[in-house]
Amino acid sequence: MARTLAMFTDTSLCIGCRACQVACKQWNELGMEVPEWTGTYQNHEHFTDKTFRLVRFIEEPKPTGDLAWLLMSDVCKHCAQAGCLDACPTGAIYRTEYGTVNISQDVCNGCRYCVSSCPFGVVAFNESTGTATKCTFCNDRIHNGLGPACAKACPTESIQFGFRDDLVAKAQKRVETLKAMGFKDAQLYGADAKGFLGGLNAFFLLLSRPGTYHLPENPKLPQRNVVVDSLLSIGSALIVGLGALLAFRDRGKGRDDA
Amino acid sequence: MLKTPGWEMMIVWYFFLGGIAGGAYFTAAIADNFGGARDRQVARAGYVLSLPLVMACGVLLIADLGVPTRFLNMLRVLKFWDPMSIGAWVVGAFGMFSFVSSVLSFSTSARTDALRRKIGLVGIFFGFFLASYTGVLLSSSAQPFWSEARLMGALFLASGASTGMAAISLILFLTGASAGEGWGKVKKADRYSMVFELCVLAIFLALLGSAATPLTSGHFAPLFWGGLVGVGLIVPLLLDLVGHRVKTLAALSALLVLAGGFVLRYVVLMSIQS
């Protein structure tokens, strides 16, 4: 496997221009959508089959009573342990040599299990093609030496693309700088390969708790439940089977006490 | 900000019918192998019922994909840790067991009877699997309500048993075969399953805690408490207790159990998807 590629989104640099969201739409030929009223400048509320990059506009109350803008360009995390990939029954969802997670549109059969298995609610179902879609890290671009369209378009380098190990080191330094500047809650989200989901290949620098950005504090791999629930189902089967056995066993006397 | 998969009525029906098919088959196989000669009617009713149901299951699953031929994409891989993948294979395998057992349930020779019993003993595992894997499938999604109790498979299995047995008893009643000993036994097994289902449901709700709110409060709560717990489990148990000598009441109880099994799948799927 080649060196893992990653995107580092430093939300402290985001100015909410949405160049990334537009670049993503243009390059990936994602169609127009009916806008939604979200109460802020944000549109849409969440990822859709036509929105793979989404700038979140979050208003956080300050102690002074004012609101502070928290801007965050959100995207598929390309998890090292990906719930969508494990859920896919056709093998349509696969990991590339760069560590990213893609959905092969020719193989996807539209079962939508991946949609319900993404801990971040990223994967979306496209009603017109009948397949699941999401960010590909611009698979075509990165295989031709170009960065993803969003990273390329970002005017403030809030979105950086490169080798994961390089970016993590850079991100850690940036957190220290921000903390020294007084941003007490500055933290990395998904940078730690030993942390949740084996680390995210699109990781973030946040200025507040993950929950503020509508991110789960401790996302878990859905498939962790398969073994436990299967064992409990076997237990259930044993009890039900035993009940039926007791009811049906032939006592040889033809006694009917039902 | 999770997304739900949009598994609506076709999948509700699939979960419901798959549960009955699995439950009816393993009940039939147990009656066939461990019951007396007079339980043969139960075995035949269960085997033969499971066949059209599993066929309907296949049709529902394929129809839900939108493009039917894409079902074949499932057959490219077999992922042991993935309930959806292994489930697709088991629906097919169960269908074969169901077909062979149904055909052999009309046999008149002792040799084919023995063969059918042996096949039933293997098929029983596929029956249990079909009735429960849909719950495990929900457990291994990102939705807290579906996954946090890790008991959805056990609950669906208990419900598959109670509805499968109810369906068998209803068939015996409708075909005039309720005079035999088998009827009393399948009703008794059904009562055991219902009591067990109530226990699993209670533990399920306790384990879920606040994640159970889509079920226990809000828009779907009346349907859950009234339709499943009340009409679908407690009322049939009371009907059986009070009137188990009156066959019409016992048949009514079976009908209510079936309705309760449908309500279970409906509220579990739809309460977080609408």
C-alpha A236/C-alpha B196 separation (Å) is 9
Same domain, A85 and A150: yes
Structure confidence at residue B243 (pLDDT):
66
Q: Spell out which residues of chain A touch residue B74, defining contact as CB-CB under 8 Å.
A: 89-90, 109, 111
Cα angle, residue B256 at apex, residues B254 and B259 outer, rounded to 5°: 115
Instruction: Kindly state whether residue B66 falls inside one of the protein's structural domains.
Output: yes
Same domain, A43 and A97: yes
Structure confidence at residue B67 (pLDDT):
92
Instruction: Kindly state whether residue B2 falls inside one of the protein's structural domains.
Output: no
CB pairs under 8 A between A and B: 210
Same domain, A179 and A227: no
How many separate domains does chain A show? 2
Q: Which of A31, A5, A223, A25 is nearest to A114 (CA)?
A: A223
Q: Which residues pair with A204 in a beta bridge?
A: A9, A189
Structure confidence at residue B37 (pLDDT):
83
Same domain, A133 and A172: yes
Same domain, A132 and A91: yes
- % of chain B residues with pLDDT over 90: 88
Instruction: Kindly state whether residue A256 falls inside one of the protein's structural domains.
Output: no
Cα angle, residue B69 at apex, residues B68 and B74 outer, rounded to 5°: 100
Instruction: Kindly state whether residue B3 falls inside one of the protein's structural domains.
Output: no
Instruction: Kindly state whether residue B266 falls inside one of the protein's structural domains.
Output: yes
Interface contact A109-B67, CB threshold 8 A: yes
C-alpha B153/C-alpha B162 separation (Å) is 14
Whole-angstrom CA distances from B88 to A67, A89, A130, B26, B44 are 51, 8, 19, 19, 26
Same domain, A237 and A117: no
Per-residue HEC secondary structure of A211-230 comes to HHHCCCCCCCCHHHHHHHHH
User: For the ranges A105-114, A243-252, B99-108, which has the lowest average pLDDT?
Assistant: A243-252
Whole-angstrom CA distances from A252 to A248, B28, B33, B114, B186 are 11, 19, 14, 19, 17
Residue B22 belongs to what domain range? 9-270
Q: Which residues pair with A124 in a beta bridge?
A: A133
Residues B113-159: pLDDT tens digits? 999 999 999 999 999 999 999 999 999 999 999 999 999 999 999 99
Same domain, A52 and A165: yes
Instruction: Kindly state whether residue B94 falls inside one of the protein's structural domains.
Output: yes
Same domain, A201 and A240: no
CA distance A222 to chain B (A): 5
B188 reaches A (C-beta below 8 A): yes
Instruction: Kindly state whether residue B1 falls inside one of the protein's structural domains.
Output: no
Instruction: Provide CB contacts within 8 A for A251, sequence distance 6+.
Output: none
Residues B205-232: pLDDT tens digits? 999 999 999 999 989 999 999 999 999 9
Question: If contacts are CB pairs under 8 Å, which of residues 47-76 in chain A contact chain B?
Answer: 47
Same domain, A83 and A196: yes
Residues A42-69: pLDDT tens digits? 999 999 999 999 999 999 998 899 999 9
- % of chain A residues with pLDDT over 90: 92
Task: Return the structure tokens found at A105.
Answer: 């549109």
Instruction: Kindly state whether residue B4 falls inside one of the protein's structural domains.
Output: no
Residues B233-246: pLDDT tens digits? 999 999 988 766 78
Structure confidence at residue B137 (pLDDT):
98
Residues B175-216: pLDDT tens digits? 987 777 888 999 999 999 999 999 999 999 999 999 999 999
Does the structure show a pLDDT above 60 at A254? no
Residue A242 belongs to what domain range? 221-251
B79 reaches A (C-beta below 8 A): yes
CATH of the domain at A193: 3.30.70.20
For testing the chain A interface, which of B11, B42, B70, B241 should be mutated: the one with the most A CBs within 10 Å? B70
CA distance B225 to chain A (A): 22
- % of chain A residues with pLDDT over 70: 96
Instruction: Kindly state whether residue A257 falls inside one of the protein's structural domains.
Output: no
Sign of CA dihedral A167, A168, A169, A173: positive
Same domain, A180 and A63: yes
User: For the ranges A70-79, B176-185, B209-218, B258-267, which has the lowest average pLDDT?
Assistant: B176-185
Radius of gyration of chain B (CA): 18
How many separate domains does chain B show? 1
C-alpha B143/C-alpha B4 separation (Å) is 8
Give the DSSP per-residue string, B19-52: HHHHHHHHHHHHHHHHS-GGGHHHHHHHHHHHHH
Same domain, A178 and A106: yes
Instruction: Kindly state whether residue B24 falls inside one of the protein's structural domains.
Output: yes
CATH of the domain at B255: 1.20.1630.10
Same domain, A227 and A193: no
Residue A99, by phi and psi: left (phi above 0), alpha (psi -120 to 50) or beta? Answer: left
